């Protein structure tokens, strides 16, 4: 005689969970909204910290000019327009942080800036005792000026402000994980 073993599995809870998860995965807007907020916060912290890790420093000449013109010494913050132009968007399957400023990409990725060659007058202070040229100064402070040919090219180092560090990525991972464990 053959015996039959019958096992009944109650999978109602599993089925209900998988249905909730499927519904949530079809539109992850709530999670994506929170992820975009984490990303925007990361970008703001990048500006506040001068990069995470630290951005390539300004040249001494530009740093001095920037300070003298009243723009402070923070990297990538001159007028504040780039920083305040950062926007965030989200949808059912994406989170996005970015800017539409035309000069944003050169700061993010670096590169060569090409302008037409031009002539420019540079101003110096000359030490009359030694006859040596000193530092660059404004025209009103100068006792010597010289016309020079500027080649028009300069290299801009990358200063990635749209960057997430490991803590930011972990926060986003936890948001997604929480949604998977506890779908609404």
What is the per-residue pLDDT across 104-142, written as a single tens digit (0 to 9) for each? 999 999 999 888 878 888 888 887 777 777 777 888 888
Task: Please report the pLDDT score of residue 135 as a whole number.
Answer: 74
List Cβ neighbours of 29 (8 Å cut-off, separation of 6 or more).
Answer: 90, 91, 92
- In degrees and rounded to multiples of 5, residue 18 shows phi and psi of -65, -35
Q: What percentage of the chain exceeds 90 in pLDDT? A: 48
Inter-residue long-range contacts of 134-142, CB under 8 Å, 24+ positions, other chains counted: 136/61, 138/68
pTM higher than the cut 0.75: no
Res 1 pLDDT > 80: no
Res 17 pLDDT > 80: yes
Res 37 pLDDT > 90: yes
Task: Please report the pLDDT score of residue 112 as a whole number.
Answer: 92
């Amino acid at each position: 005689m053959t015996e039959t073993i019958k096992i009944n599995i109650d999978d109602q809870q599993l089925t209900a969970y998988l249905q909730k998860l499927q519904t949530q995965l079809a539109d992850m807007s709530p999670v994506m909204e929170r992820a975009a907020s984490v990303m925007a916060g990361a970008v703001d912290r990048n500006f506040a910290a001068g990069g995470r890790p630290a951005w390539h420093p300004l040249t001494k000449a530009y740093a001095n000019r920037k300070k003298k013109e009243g723009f402070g010494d923070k990297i990538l913050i001159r007028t504040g327009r780039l920083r305040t132009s950062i926007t965030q968007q989200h949808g059912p399957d994406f989170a996005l942080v970015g800017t539409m400023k035309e000069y944003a990409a050169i700061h993010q990725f670096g590169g060569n800036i090409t302008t037409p060659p031009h002539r420019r007058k540079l101003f110096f202070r000359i030490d009359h005792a030694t006859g040596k040229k000193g530092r660059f100064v404004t025209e009103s402070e100068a006792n010597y000026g010289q016309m020079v040919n500027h080649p028009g090219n300069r290299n801009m180092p990358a200063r990635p402000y749209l960057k997430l560090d490991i803590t930011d990525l972990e926060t986003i991972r936890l948001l997604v994980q929480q949604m998977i464990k506890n779908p609404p």
